Structure 1
Amino acid sequence: MPKVAVPALPTSCLFGMIKPSGPTSMSLLNSMQPLLSTSRLFTQSPSEDAPKISKKKKRSKKVGDVKLGQGGTLDPLADGVLVLGVGGGTKKLTQFLDCTKEYSTTCLLGCETDSYDSEGARVRTAPWKHVTKEQVIEALEKFKGTIQQTPPIFSALKMDGKPLYEYARNGIPLPRPIEARTVTVHSLELVEWKGSDHSFSWPEKALTEDEKKAMEAAIRGVDKTASITDALETTVQDERPTAFVIKMRVSGGTYVRSLVHDLAHALDSAGHVVTLTRSRQGRFVLDPTEDGDRACIPWAVFEKALSNTGEADEDGWKEWEREVLQYMEVI
């Protein structure tokens, strides 16, 4: 195997990991701790010349002592680039909260959910058969450039100290409209028109009538005419709805799910996210194409090491450590 440059040890660094869809970002970080906390890459090896410490004062190093953080989480549904910081690298993670990001996402028309994605419950249904590829391309133009976005009411954002989802779940009227955010959509394009040729379906779970009334009561605190009603007949709901894929490059703070939700409304329909991939987070990308781009490490590399750490090479490095050495950015 080719030699890998080794920085001064233990090291602090940043590196990108490719998160799979399904688990939470934090659960993956927690799973990685046993690897990082027992690797000489990130921990100080005991020195024979170090002063002796009495047994009474000696403190054993616990798994998890290595500082590990993420520069912007991904929902369980989402996959793609997740920037991680180790040691002093965690102090550099804030730069990735407000950096340029790229996403590709699949929108499924005809139904909106409380979370704006397929992980949530159905809120309402709406017609979709009238929507054409050309209409989507035209509607996308309205969402390019500097736009205003309103976060979903079922979110953890707080208003007067209370998460928005508590207002929606408990039927508490919002004291004021949810504050819109200014974001920039640098590019936005339709990359695949699936039509009905796909395997996606609306979530089986739906809001009960009581839950709908509670959500209406919350929204009517700022919109007296708010109403949540299905606009489709049952027979139509059994048909395969239209789906399409869009790709975007956006500023930090952009809600992809909100963009899809608002786009569906602009098409006189309803819609939600069924797939979401982050392909860029700052300089960390899935497919390096620009100067300064840095590739990422697949989660499978760490998953394999957790089940079988394998043999070390002639320099004492395990396979996963060599991957980190190759792709990390030393701080």
Structure 2
Amino acid sequence: MPKVTVPPLPTSALFGMVKPSGPTSMSLLNNLQPLLSTSRLFAQPSSEGTPKRKKKRSRKVGDVKLGQGGTLDPLADGVLVLGVGKGTKQLTQFLDCTKEYSTTCLLGCETDTYDSEGARVRTAPWKHVTREMVIEALSKFQGQIKQTPPVFSALKMDGKPLYEYARKGIPLPRPIEARTVTVHSLELVEWKGSDHSFSWPEKALTEDEKKAMEAAIRGIDKAATIKDEPETAAVDEKPTAFVIKMKVSGGTYVRSLVHDLAHELGSAGHVVTLTRSRQGRFVLNQTEDGDRGCIPWSIFENALADAGAADEEGWTEWEREVLQHMEVV
């Protein structure tokens, strides 16, 4: 096994991890914390004394500082940039950096969260949508565009999360502020049609929940209604799905883009898969000078179950992976 370059220890670093779909980003960090805190890569040797507890943090004595440069939703997978030690101070650069995503849109239904984790809000016709219509519509979402965050989000208005207005039927005091973002590139990469295994969420908003959501939105749009528009044509196959790929600026809501695109197509839609393939210089597949690869979550998952024996240089498999991928700070 080839030797790896080892910086002065303990070190501070940045490295990319491949998040799986399902768990929250924070739960993975919580799982990683004890693993990183017992490695000589990042932890102070016990002979040098135990670091003092900092009152403003809830970390246990001896834990290394660990943070993420922009969370991913539970549904999403892909690049998650982590900072350890002084590396946590470098994470803000990854909030506004260029990012790349691929996402699958399922037509005919929109949800409160704009993805398959949410509840059905309304259905709409989808059978009329063609590949050519999608390609034409995508051109309207490139360059600098305005995006409005969903009403079911944690963004606050007058100190109250937007989802509280929607759930409790409280009229929004003013329109949700649209954000200017840049879509550098946007393309259709796969037309699945009905050849897929996706389906609309089983959970749906109740009539009372729909009325509450309408009441919230009517604070800014008195004509707002939430009404199903069933597919009128005979439908004997699954709703259409397609995959788009994009390169965007920081702050872009992929779910909102898919939601707005479906409206542009005269339908409704939501995200059923979402992969972040680039976050700044950390990528799933290295294609440019300066790109840095990421470590599969399975490497850490295996180490948490059994760290395994150290090699002739004293490193376990997961530590060697970090040494090969990390950027020393």
Superposed, 1:84-233 pairs within 5 Å as 84-232=82-230
- Retained in 2: the 8 A contact 1:33–1:63? no
Aligned-pair CA distance for 1:65: 1.4
Q: 1:308: Cα distance to partner? A: 0.7
Q: Secondary structure at the match of 2:181?
A: strand
1:260 aligned counterpart, secondary structure: helix
Q: Secondary structure at the match of 1:227?
A: coil
The answer (yes or no) to whether the contact 2:124–2:231 under 8 Å persists in 1 is: no
Whole-Å separation in 2 of the counterparts to 1:249 and 1:279: 10
User: Hey, what's the Cα distance between the residues in 2 that align with 1:111 and 1:234?
Assistant: 14
- 1:34 shift after superposition: 1.4
Q: Percent identity?
A: 84
Distance across 2 between alignment mates of 1:145 and 1:235: 35
CA distance in structure 2 between the aligned counterparts of 1:244 and 1:51, rounded to whole angstroms? 56
1:149/1:259 contact within 8 Å kept? yes
How far residue 76 of structure 1 moved from its aligned partner, in angstroms, is 0.3
Report the number of matched residues.
Answer: 321
Q: Which amino acid aligns with 1:24?
A: T
Shift of 1:235: 9.4
1:33 corresponds to 2:33: yes
Q: Could you list the per-position Cα deviations for residues 62-100 of structure 1 after superposition, in whole angstroms to 9, with x for gaps in the alignment?
A: 476110000000000000000000000000000000000
- What does residue 292 of structure 1 align with? 290
2:28 alignment partner AA: L
TM-score normalized with structure 2 length: 0.95
TM-score normalised over the length of structure 1: 0.94
Could you tell me how far apart the structure 2 residues matched to 1:262 and 1:249 are? Answer: 17
Residue 46 of structure 2 aligns to a residue whose secondary structure is coil
Report the equivalent of 1:241: 239
* 1:9 correspondence with 2:9: yes
Q: 1:56 — aligned with what?
A: none
Deviations 1:99-138 (A, max 9, x none): 0000000000000000000000000000000000000000
Residue 193 (structure 1) shift: 0.2
Deviations 1:270-309 (A, max 9, x none): 0000000000000000000001000000000000000011
- Conserved? CA contact 1:38–1:63, under 8 Å: no
The aligned amino acid for 1:3 is K
Q: Please tell me whether the aligned partners of residues 34 and 63 of structure 2 are also in contact (alpha carbons under 8 angstroms).
A: no
CA RMSD in angstroms, aligned pairs only: 1.6
For residues 46 and 75 of structure 1, the distance between their equivalents in structure 2, rounded to whole angstroms, comes to: 37
Unaligned stretches of 5+ residues in structure 2: 51-58
Cα distance in 1 for partners of 2:139, 2:45 equals 57
Kindly provide the amino acid, as one letter, of the partner of residue 15 in structure 1: F
Partner of 2:327: 329
Aligned partner of 2:53 in structure 1 is none
Instruction: For residue 233 of structure 1, report the CA deviation from its aligned partner.
Output: 5.7
Q: Would the aligned equivalents of 1:34 and 1:64 in 2 still touch at CA under 8 Å?
A: no
Opposite residue 13 of structure 2, the aligned amino acid is: C
Indicate yes or no: 2:63 matched with 1:69: no
Deviation at 1:314, TM superposition (A): 1.2
CA contact (8 A) 1:33 1:64 kept: no
Determine the C-alpha separation between the residues in 2 that align with 1:64 and 1:45. 10
Query: Does the CA-based 8 Å contact 1:103-1:276 persist in structure 2?
Result: yes
In structure 2, what is the Cα distance between the partners aligned to 1:206 and 1:36? Answer: 42
SS in 2 for 1:18: strand
Question: How far did residue 46 of structure 1 move?
Answer: 3.2
Contact preservation (8 Å) 1:69, 1:84: yes
The 5-angstrom pairing of residues 48-67 of structure 1 reads 62=60, 65-67=63-65
User: Secondary structure at 2:301's aligned position in 1?
Assistant: helix
8 Å CA contact 2:94–2:280 kept in 1: the answer is yes
The 5-angstrom pairing of residues 299-310 of structure 1 reads 299-310=297-308
Query: Which residue does the alignment assign to 2:54?
Result: none
